[in-house]
Chains A and B, each alone.
Chain A
Amino acid sequence: EPEVTQTPSHQVTQMGQEVILRCVPISNHLYFYWYRQILGQKVEFLVSFYNNEISEKSEIFDDQFSVERPDGSNFTLKIRSTKLEDSAMYFCASRPRGLPTDTQYFGPGTRLTVL
C-alpha cells in the first residue's frame, strides 16, 4: 500500500542552523501538509500546499519557515534559523483531492532536536 515517507527520522542541530526536512507524499495526491507536535502537546497545523503554492498557513509558519516541491515527488520544509522552541516531531501528510471523503495520510515523522 502506498505510504508517505519522511527523512531523516531524527535530526539534531545547533540553534541558528538551517534544517531541511524531506517528505515524499503518495504519488497521485494533490494536497500536501506539514504539522508539528511539541512533546506533550497537540498536533498543530503549519502549512498546506496545493497546485504548487501555499494555500493556507498558521501563525506559527513565519518567515523562518518555507516549503517547496522541487520536483514531482519531494515536498520539503525548511527552517532557516532554528530556535530551541522548534524542537518537535514534524509530520508530513498528503491527501488525494479536496473532497469531504478524503483521508489525510501521515508520514512517520521527523524528530527535530535543537540544541
Chain B
Amino acid sequence: KQEVTQIPAALSVPEGENLVLNCSFTDSAIYNLQWFRQDPGKGLTSLLLIQSSQREQTSGRLNASLDKSSGRSTLYIAASQPGDSATYLCAGVYNQGGKLIFGQGTELSVKP
C-alpha cells in the first residue's frame, strides 16, 4: 500500500533559523512528489514539484530534494520568517492519473 508519512507533526523554531521538513514514502515507483503549504482554514498552495527523474528543485528560500532509493523527500527552508508559519504537506503521485497521496503534514511555527 502506498503511504506517505511526515515527522514531526509540529515544529517550532526561532526566526532566522534554517530548517528541514521530512517526508517519507513507501513505494519508490513514484511519478512525482509535491510540497504544499496550508494556512489554517485555507486551501493548499503548491510550493514545489519534483519529478521522479530529478533530485531537487529550488524556489527562492525553498529547496526540495527527492531520494527514491531511500523513500525520502526533504523541504529545506532557509532563513525562516514568521510568515512561513503554516502546515506543510507532501504528497506523492504514482501514475499519470495524478492522484495525490498525502502525508499528515508538519505544522511549522516560526517565532519572532
Q: B44 contacts A42, CB within 8 Å?
A: no
Q: B102 contacts A109, CB within 8 Å?
A: no
Q: A43 contacts B97, CB within 8 Å?
A: no
Partner of B43, one of A56, A103, A107: A107
> Cβ of B21 < 8 Å from any Cβ of A?
no
The size bracket of the interface on B is 20 to 34
Q: B43 contacts A101, CB within 8 Å?
A: no
- Minimal beta-carbon separation of A1 from chain B (angstroms): 12
Tally of A-B Cβ pairs under 8 angstroms: 64
Q: Which residues of A contact B61 (CB under 8 A)?
A: none
Task: Considering the complex, give the chain B residue whose CB is closest to the CB of A50.
Answer: B97
A42-B104, A100-B31 given as contacts; is B98 within 8 A of A95 (CB)? yes
A43-B91, A43-B102 given as contacts; is B46 within 8 A of A104 (CB)? yes
Partner of B99, one of A45, A100, A106: A45
Q: Which residues of B contact A106 (CB under 8 A)?
A: 36, 43-46
Q: Which residues of A contact B52 (CB under 8 A)?
A: 100
Q: Which residues of A contact B98 (CB under 8 A)?
A: 31, 33, 48, 95, 98, 102, 104
A19-76 at interface with B (beta carbon < 8 Å): 31, 33, 35, 41-45, 48, 50, 55-56
Task: Considering the complex, give the chain B residue whose CB is closest to the CB of A32.
Answer: B98
Q: Which residues of A contact B36 (CB under 8 A)?
A: 106
Q: B97 contacts A108, CB within 8 Å?
A: no
- Minimal beta-carbon separation of B73 from chain A (angstroms): 15
Q: Which residues of A contact B31 (CB under 8 A)?
A: 100
* CA of A89 to CA of B41, assembled, Å: 9
Q: Which residues of B contact A44 (CB under 8 A)?
A: 102
In the complex, 15 of the A-B residue pairs with CB atoms within 8 angstroms, ordered by the A residue number, are A33-B100, A35-B100, A41-B104, A45-B100, A48-B97, A48-B98, A93-B100, A98-B98, A102-B49, A104-B34, A104-B46, A104-B98, A106-B45, A106-B46, A108-B43
